[in-house]
Structure 1
Amino acid sequence: MREPPQPEDLARWRRTERERLLALRLALSAERRTEETVKIARDLDVLLPGGQSEIVSAYWPIRAEPDLRPWMHDRAERGARIALPVALAPGQPLTFREWRPGARLAHGLWRIPYPADGLEITPTVVLAPVVGFDRQGYRLGYGGGFFDRTLAGLSPRPRVIGIGYACAAIDSIFPQPHDIPMDWIVTGSAPPWTGPLA
């Protein structure tokens, strides 16, 4: 593993790494993304076997993220409570609104849909799409800090499951004090893992 960047260089390093990882993701064929997403959904069914007590915050996919909308639809039809994150302003924590199939959608920052009329609820599980992830369970996102800011303010803290493709794996994101590790990583290319890898 390379030496950590100096603090003044870290933002530039993360920006460059983010661009590289997004290019790798976008270069995956649609067929490959679909295959891995089906496996991700299967792994989520094992990790989250159901139960009405769980409130799962999923996400609406952007930029070729794994598209879990069929999984969300299936889980909701079976009685699970599904939420979507709501980002309305930079620098603010996310809120979460309950989603049901057919819900009317509004658009927040970056035109990301969220349930226009859904009740605001607090998730017990958060599915966090990753641009990159490392072997210690840290997530590289899009750079807005929304997930870390939100998780830091939730009590009790929900379980966090990172969702991405295997090509998003890197040695380290060089975590900072505000970075919060995920509990699980699910990629569709390997068994889900939890905690730092040896």
Structure 2
Amino acid sequence: MSDVLRDKAILRGERLAARDRLPPDARIELSLKLCEHGAATLALEPGTVVSGFMPIRSEADIRPLLATLKARGARLCLPVIIDRQTILFRELVQGAPLVPMGFGTFGPGPDAAELDPDLMLVPLSAFDAQGHRIGYGGGYYDRAIDRLHKKGLFPQLIGIAFDCQEVASVPIEAHDVRLQAILTESGLRRVGL
């Protein structure tokens, strides 16, 4: 294991442990604040494709924000795991069933339309002020973003986290893509690129 991978694994473990220590009622309150900030600051055109996620473990619950964006005309999609290497994004439609996707999450089934997001709300385990993120170690989002870039698509990337997940500096690798913003319970922080 390289030094960068080892350092990322240490930071991932520390920040996920900090997130896990938040009491469930505090996580609900912090999630609601995060969603309020997102609703107040994220402007989008009707028809904008927004990828979100269903919360797992101690992640922020962004479902209220997704509902607000949907009410403003966004088309919503969720990541679905296709194989051990790939996630795609399928449209989230009211009333359509969600199916188990693995890792304790759910997503639209195979009959749902596959969409390419214009705006991606990205879960993470750690982030820094420069917009670097550490995911959960599987590289799913890195590969999905790379696949979109190869298609000539460059979605806006907004990391979703609690303030306790911030670190001084994330070790980076050549393939790492910076976020344009981080949304936490303290607000939306744009990152200068």
Question: Is TM-score (shorter-chain normalized) higher than 0.5?
Answer: yes
Deviation of 1:112 after TM superposition, in Å, equals: 2.1
> Over residues 130-175 of structure 1, what are the superposed CA-to-partner deviations in whole Å (9 max), with x where a residue is unaligned?
1100121011110011111111221221000100000000011111
- Matched AA of 2:95: G
1:186: which partner in 2? 183
Whether contact under 8 Å (1:89, 1:109) holds in the other structure is no
Which protein is richer in strand relative to its size? Answer: 2
Does the residue aligned with 1:16 lie in a helix, a strand or coil? helix
Determine whether 1:129 maps to 2:113: no
Whether contact under 8 Å (1:57, 1:126) holds in the other structure is yes
- Superposition map of 1:1-198 within 5 A: 8-92=2-86, 94-116=87-109, 117-154=111-148, 155-189=152-186, 191-196=187-192
Coordinate RMSD, CA, aligned: 1.9
Return 5+ residue gaps in structure 1 as ranges.
1-6
Deviation of 1:41 after TM superposition, in Å, equals: 1.0
TM-score norm. by structure 1 comes to: 0.87
TM-score norm. by structure 2 comes to: 0.89
Return 5+ residue gaps in structure 2 as ranges.
none
Aligned residues: 189
Deviation of 1:50 after TM superposition, in Å, equals: 4.2
- Matched AA of 2:66: M
Whether contact under 8 Å (2:90, 2:112) holds in the other structure is yes
- Matched AA of 1:177: A
Deviation of 1:118 after TM superposition, in Å, equals: 1.7
Whether contact under 8 Å (2:52, 2:121) holds in the other structure is yes
Does the residue aligned with 2:91 lie in a helix, a strand or coil? strand
Does the residue aligned with 1:65 lie in a helix, a strand or coil? coil
